[in-house]
Chain A
Amino acid sequence: MPETATDTDSAPFMQRLYNRIWLLAAAAFVFFLLSYVGWGLLDILAATPR
């Protein structure tokens, strides 16, 4: 458990990606919005009573 953040000059690609936390958060948010919320609401609203 390091107590201060570690500088990552010439860090591997995955580490640089994981360091972009706001990008990851935004991507996860969009994914959830499409995969769970949007798709589910489309299903429900498309259902017609028979």
Chain B
Amino acid sequence: MLARITDLFENDYGPDGFRTCSVTGLDIHRSAEKYVKLFGLTAVIALVVGGIFAFNVAMTRWELVGLLEPSSYYTHLSMHAWNLLIFWMVFMEIAILYVGGPMILGRRLPWTKVAAAGWVTMVVSAIGVNYSIWTTEAPNQAPLLTAYVPLPVSSLFYGMAILFLVGATIAALPFFVTIWKEKRGRPEATLPLIAFGAFVTGIIAVEAILGGIAAFGYALAWRLEFIATADAGVYRHLYWIVGHGTQQINLVAMITVWYFLTHVVGGAVVVSEKVSRSAFILYLFFINMGAAHHLLVDPGISANWRIWNTSYAFYGAAFASMIHAFAIPAGIEVGRRRRGLGGGLFGWLTSAPWKNPIFAAITFSVILFGFLGGITGVVMGQMQVNMTWHNTFAAVGHFHATVALGTTLAFMGLVFFVVRTMFQRQFVSGFLAMLTPYAYAGAMGIATIMMMYAGILYGVPRRTAEVVRNIPGSDFSLAAATPLFAVFGIFAVLAILGGVCFVAVAVGSLLFGDRINEGDNDDLLPEGGLRSDGGKPVHAYDMRGTFTLCLVFMAVFVASYVLNWYLLTELWAIGL
């Protein structure tokens, strides 16, 4: 078994350490590939740990089951949050940086010892965070994701959280060195779009990490009594730079993966480099302002700051998302039409490789992120409408739509792609692999919608073990939300089973899958190969199918926005 595992990190490289990928055509160096595999595998382990706690948390919120006592609920919720929102995501994102930098640019991974040191630091600190949460004892409390001061959270937790952020920074350094060398070597050259997207991801990550180190460092100084008090408002302000910023890293990394994989497995083209890069630059300037929506009901911050950061400025990022929401499907449409696969309005879509789990995962990621995660994010970022969402279960629904649906599906697709093209293994079960994105996306989509309904329609709060059947010290009843929680509970279990299916296929393929031989990966490529030139420039092809889809999206967006304003007018009738 050990030989099998070490064999996973080997491929047939030339004397110079490079090999040419039979699917992407990229020249990949051993050093970059080894670390992409290492960080990707570690991310999947974090996904497994977080997924186990997802079951415990979901079965507690479904009060018919009521798995955990309120006294232990926060510990399990904290484990769930840190392993899935942080560790699963960030380990994957480092892997994506190494794909977007050295692999796309055909370079070695520089500073491999630094990459190794980053990985070790991240693993040790992730274990440390888990340990500090799991061993929480009174008077300390489990931190949840936020670890708000003056909540008595252990100093070990803050220390380990800071160490993890430092580790992620160390691990990202080889990527930045790659970009630096590329630009130094050819200062007037344009980076490929994927490398450009990865770079924007990296810079957004730097902002988020600095905010996190400032917030956790401030709290740690208070816990260690270097300072007498910690201002809750200052902490929250700094904390959300990383708390929400990490999720913006997810978003930009996810969109970079969208461009990469829709091209490789769906035959997509970039319909306009200028437009897509402009959208990435809008993200660079505005996406991290989304953090402000967590502070919309906080005292001490002016209305001007809130409105500027969540509306006027942040809409720059919303606009960017809508550009990508057009550019990605338009790229697929043009790419497939130029292959002669675009009959009628949606022929390019109906003829797409829906049995390819990588394509299906990416496409569901695009659709569900946009319709569920994106729209709700913009709605929540509006100061008045936010009042019906803030700190309700609907907010949990929103970030499950973005992270658990959008980003996780995209990363699942990427892991499947890495299994086939870098680990060079056949899926242990082609049928299970094909089923995974459908099962997970469908079940998690419904579970997410139920969270939103429970929060918006009944005001069910987040972060509480018992609310529907028991609100201590109050006659107020949320019992009317019980049916929603029944649906939520059932589909949460099904979504977790979808996650189990994903892990079984990914890990099972590595351990028991047949080695890929010459030509075995041809099924991943779009019809006509990776480069199919229809003889006409991109703008000469129809994009009316995408335009129609965008009109549908806009209609849903407007309807959701209007509906949320209506619900705000009905505020005092909620739950009656």
Question: Is B36 close to A, CB under 8 A?
Answer: no
Question: Is B309 close to A, CB under 8 A?
Answer: yes
Query: Which of A4, A19, A21 is the one whose CB lies under 8 Å from B192?
Result: A4
Is there an interface contact between B300 and A44, defined as CB atoms closer than 8 Å? yes
Chain A: residues with Cβ within 8 Å of the partner, total of: 34
CA distance A1 to B106 in the complex (A): 13
Is there an interface contact between B300 and A47, defined as CB atoms closer than 8 Å? yes
Specify which chain A residues have a CB less than 8 angstroms from the CB of B183 in the assembled complex: 21-22
- Nearest B residue (CB) for A45: B234
Is there an interface contact between A44 and B231, defined as CB atoms closer than 8 Å? yes
A18 to chain B, nearest CB (A): 5
Specify which chain A residues have a CB less than 8 angstroms from the CB of B211 in the assembled complex: 37
Given contacts A24-B284, A25-B203, contact A36 B291 (CB under 8 A): yes
A38 to chain B, nearest CB (A): 10
Within 8 A of B (CB), among A1-50: 1-9, 11, 14-16, 18-19, 21-22, 24-25, 27-29, 31-32, 35-37, 39-41, 43-45, 47
CA distance A20 to B356 in the complex (A): 38
Is there an interface contact between B305 and A43, defined as CB atoms closer than 8 Å? yes
Specify which chain A residues have a CB less than 8 angstroms from the CB of B518 in the assembled complex: none
Total residue contacts A-B, CB cutoff 8 A: 114
Question: Is B292 close to A, CB under 8 A?
Answer: yes
CA distance A47 to B263 in the complex (A): 51
Is there an interface contact between B106 and A43, defined as CB atoms closer than 8 Å? no
- Nearest A residue (CB) for B103: A3
Is there an interface contact between B305 and A40, defined as CB atoms closer than 8 Å? yes
- Nearest B residue (CB) for A4: B106
CA distance A47 to B232 in the complex (A): 13
Is there an interface contact between A43 and B186, defined as CB atoms closer than 8 Å? no
Is there an interface contact between A9 and B305, defined as CB atoms closer than 8 Å? no
Specify which chain B residues have a CB less than 8 angstroms from the CB of A35 in the assembled complex: 289, 308-309, 313
- Nearest A residue (CB) for B27: A3
Provide the B219-262 mask, 1 if CB < 8 A to any CB of A, else 0: 00000000000010110011001000000000000000001100
